[in-house]
Structure formats: structure tokens, C-alpha cells
């Protein structure tokens, strides 16, 4: 169901009311960014952030900061595409890209959605295990059924409210954690801006990057824009929509960066400081008990459960959108093609969890896989938003083009370093 929002091109109003009116408009248009944000505070992020903090102290905080800056740019461009063309990324690729390239982009994007859903559902299952002692495989089935039911029965606006509620709960949980662990803020601030990387940290660093800049979110954002009916009906309205969207994206992504940074800081302050090696998320929760008390373990489990369920919803929607969009079919929740894509995302991910032996490593590897696939999502988005045939006068200007090229090459180079290290190289 398409949701029609009022046009934001309004009749001029009295000067004294302008600021209040603009503030109300901004608040009214918050939502899509937060819907996407939950995807990069998911259980995959938990695993990579805990690994980063427990193994390397605060030294990989810069990856979170840099990844978030890259994320803001590319998520904005995904939303930009949706606002200008009225199509999500998958629909735009189907419309404008040759079949062979379309198949490569689409197949790898669906694989990325499954890898993402695996991490999300596994995290929800681990949350159920920590809080209630539910066996991991049973918890995974419960989480998978929950996700299918919620997406199948609800509409986007109801899902948005649910997601924003979950994000708020996760943020509150980590504020409590930060208060409990008392980190070294000076050292954390230093490593937020000073990069350090070597052969021992490259795998975890790429996992952190893949967990922040996620392929399925680039597909999801432009689709959420469509379901808010954010297509400009005039040049003036399009420009104003783009400004409101950027505020929404910037604010939501910065909230996500704060939560991800908090994860690394908590892990460094508790595990690295006490010489504790963490090999699974459940162990992380148990280890918190003697170090900072029972409350921290409960908060950890609640936040992990909320994170897993909410991000599973977004990954399921991304899978449905990607599948139906690449086939040139309707991408609304009610579409049978969307529901087929949803099933092809959630059920294989849940089935793979049944054979997972090391859940912590599975989470990290899934995020590394996302990082490897990321260039194949960035490339079509770059080509489409740079095309005047597709975007008209709203095609990328030189600054946007330069930033997309620089950040895209950075991701490719980091992936090349990862592959070099996996084949025995040292640096």
C-alpha cells in the first residue's frame, strides 16, 4: 500500500512562524533513516564491535567513524535516487541496466540479504537464549516465524514505529552500559580519529565496515522512500524533499554511529581491560556479570533481542524488495513477488543457522561477506545517480561524484587487503 503524504510545498507563511513550521516538518519527515539505521546496529555489528573492542581495545573505533561517513553519503544517494525517479534501487537497475549485469547485481544482492538475515535471526535467537534459556535453534525458528508474521501482516508505518521503538530501546540499553563500565574517554576519542590497521586486525576491521555499510540497506532506503510517497512533483518540491531526507539520514546515521561506538567502547572497557577473550555473544553476556553486575547481563540480552528482531524485519523487507524489484514486479508488501523474496530470504537464513556450530564466527564471517559484496551494490547506485538520462538535472554534481569514487575505491582497496591477508600476505 502506497502511503500518500501531504506535499511539503506550502503557501508562504508569516515570518515568525517559519522556524516552528520547519521544525514540525522535519519531525514529521523523520522515519526512513531510522528504519534503515537499525540494519547497522544489528547482531552482526554486535559481534564485530565486541571482537574489535575485546581484541584491539579502542584502536578500531576509527572504522566505525569512517564507515558512518561513507554510509551517510551512500544512503543519501540511495534515497536521492528514490525521490527523483520514483523507483527503488532494484527497480532502477531492472529498468536501466543490461540483463547480464543485472543478474550479477541481483544474485549477489540476494545472497547479501540472506547473509544479513542469518546474522539478525541468529542474534535474536541468542538474545532469547541469554534471557530465557531457549535453545539457539528453537529461538532461531521462533524469530524467523515472528519476522515473517510481522512483515506479512503489517504496513510500513506500523513497522516504522516498531523499528524506532526498538532503536530507542537499544540506545537506552547502551547508555546504561556506558554508565556501568566507566571507559577511558580520552583514549577512545583519540582512536576515533587516528587510523591503525595491520594484518591481525584487517578481518575484524572489514567485518566492522561490512556491518556498518550494508548492501541491503542501500536497497532498502530507496524503497522506504517510495512507500512514504516521497517523489517530488515539481523541481521545488524535489529539492525540499532532498533537504528533509538528508536531515533524516544524517540524524539517524549519527545515532547509529553513537550506538556502534558504544559497543566497541563497552567491549574495550570491560573485556580488553580485564584480559577476557570473547568467542561468542552469550559468553560476552555471562562475562559481564562478575565484572559489572547482573544488570549489565540483562541489559545486554534485552538489547540483543531487540536488535535481532528489528534488524530481521528490515533485512526481510530488503530481501522482498530486492527480489521483486530485480524481476520488474511490484515491491509493495502485498505483492506476491515481494512475499516470495521475503520467504527466499528468511527461510534459507533460518535453515543455515541449524548447521552453524560457532555462532560468533558465523556472525563475523557474514559481515565480511557483506563487505566483499558491497562494491557490487555501490557500482550500480553510482552509475544510476550519475546518469543524466536517469536523474535529469538531479544527476550527481562533481562533488558527489568525487566523494562516491573516493569512498568506493577505499572499500575496494580494503577488500583487496583482506583477500591479500587471507592468502598469507602480511602488512
3-state secondary structure 214-273: CHHHHHHHHHHHHHCCCCCCCHHHHHHHHHHHHHHHHHHHHHHHHHHHHHHHHHHHHHHC
- Does a structural domain hold residue 22? no
- Does a structural domain hold residue 14? no
Nearest 5°: CA angle at 343, between 340 and 347?
A: 155
Give the number of domains in the chain. Answer: 1
pLDDT at 5: 37
- Does a structural domain hold residue 67? yes
Q: Confidence band (pLDDT; 50, 70, 90) for 213?
A: confident
pLDDT at 160: 62
- Does a structural domain hold residue 24? no
- Does a structural domain hold residue 337? yes
pLDDT at 157: 62
CA distance 120 to 393: 39
CA distance 81 to 225: 9
Q: Higher confidence at residue 44 or residue 22? A: 44
Evaluate if residue 218 carries a pLDDT over 60.
Answer: yes
- Does a structural domain hold residue 310? yes
- Does a structural domain hold residue 259? yes
Q: What is the CATH number of the domain that holds 161?
A: 1.20.1740.10
**Domain span holding position 331:** 31-271+295-422
Q: What is the pTM of this model?
A: 0.85
Lookup: cell for 200: 591481525
- Does a structural domain hold residue 374? yes
Q: Higher confidence at residue 58 or residue 179? A: 58
Q: Confidence band (pLDDT; 50, 70, 90) for 228?
A: low
Amino acid at each position: 500500500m502506497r502511503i500518500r503524504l501531504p506535499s511539503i510545498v506550502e503557501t508562504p507563511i508569516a515570518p515568525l512562524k517559519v522556524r516552528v513550521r520547519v521544525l514540525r516538518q522535519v519531525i514529521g519527515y523523520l522515519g526512513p533513516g531510522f528504519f534503515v539505521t537499525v540494519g547497522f546496529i544489528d547482531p552482526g555489528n554486535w559481534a564485530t564491535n565486541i571482537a574489535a573492542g575485546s581484541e584491539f581495545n579502542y584502536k578500531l573505533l576509527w572504522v566505525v567513524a569512517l564507515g558512518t561517513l561513507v554510509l551517510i553519503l551512500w544512503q543519501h544517494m540511495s534515497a536521492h535516487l528514490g525521490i527523483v525517479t520514483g523507483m527503488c534501487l532494484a527497480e532502477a537497475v531492472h529498468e536501466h541496466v543490461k540483463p547480464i549485469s543485472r543478474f550479477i547485481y541481483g544474485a549477489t544482492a540476494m545472497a547479501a540479504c540472506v547473509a544479513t538475515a542469518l546474522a539478525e535471526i541468529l542474534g535474536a535467537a541468542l538474545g532469547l537464549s541469554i534471557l530465557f534459556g531457549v535453545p539457539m535453534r528453537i529461538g532461531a525458528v521462533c524469530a524467523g516465524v515472528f519476522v515473517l508474521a510481522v512483515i506479512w501482516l503489517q504496513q510500513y508505518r506500523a513497522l516504522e514505529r516498531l523499528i524506532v521503538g526498538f532503536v530507542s530501546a537499544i540506545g537506552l540499553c547502551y547508555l546504561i552500559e556506558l554508565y556501568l563500565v566507566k571507559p577511558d574517554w580520552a583514549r577512545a576519542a583519540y582512536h576515533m580519529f587516528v587510523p591503525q590497521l595491520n594484518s591481525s586486525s584487517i578481518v575484524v576491521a572489514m567485518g566492522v565496515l561490512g556491518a556498518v555499510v550494508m548492501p541491503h540497506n542501500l536497497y532498502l532506503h530507496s524503497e522506504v522512500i517510495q512507500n512514504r510517497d516521497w517523489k517530488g512533483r515539481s523541481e521545488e518540491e524535489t529539492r525540499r524533499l532532498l533537504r528533509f531526507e538528508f536531515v533524516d539520514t544524517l540524524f539517524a546515521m549519527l545515532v547509529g554511529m553513537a550506538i556502534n561506538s558504544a559497543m566497541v567502547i563497552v567491549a574495550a572497557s570491560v573485556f580488553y581491560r580485564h584480559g577476557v577473550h570473547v568467542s561468542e555473544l552469550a559468553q560476552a553476556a555471562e562475562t559481564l556479570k562478575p565484572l559489572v553486575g547482573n544488570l549489565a547481563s540483562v541489559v545486554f540480552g534485552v538489547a540483543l533481542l531487540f536488535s535481532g528482531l528489528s534488524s530481521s524485519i528490515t533485512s526481510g523487507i530488503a530481501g522482498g524488495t530486492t527480489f521483486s524489484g530485480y524481476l520488474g514486479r511490484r515491491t509493495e508488501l502485498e505483492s506476491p513477488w515481494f512475499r516470495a523474496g521475503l520467504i527466499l530470504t528468511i527461510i534459507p537464513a533460518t535453515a543455515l543457522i541449524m548447521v552453524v556450530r560457532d555462532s560468533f564466527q558465523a556472525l563475523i564471517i557474514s559481515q565480511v561477506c557483506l563487505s566483499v559484496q558491497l562494491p557490487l551494490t555501490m557500482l550500480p547506485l553510482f552509475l544510476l545517480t550519475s546518469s543524466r538520462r536517469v536523474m535529469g538535472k538531479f544527476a550527481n554534481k562533481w562533488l558527489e561524484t568525487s566523494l562516491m569514487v573516493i569512498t568506493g575505491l577505499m572499500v575496494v582497496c580494503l577488500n583487496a587487503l583482506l583477500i591479500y591477508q587471507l592468502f598469507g600476505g602480511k602488512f
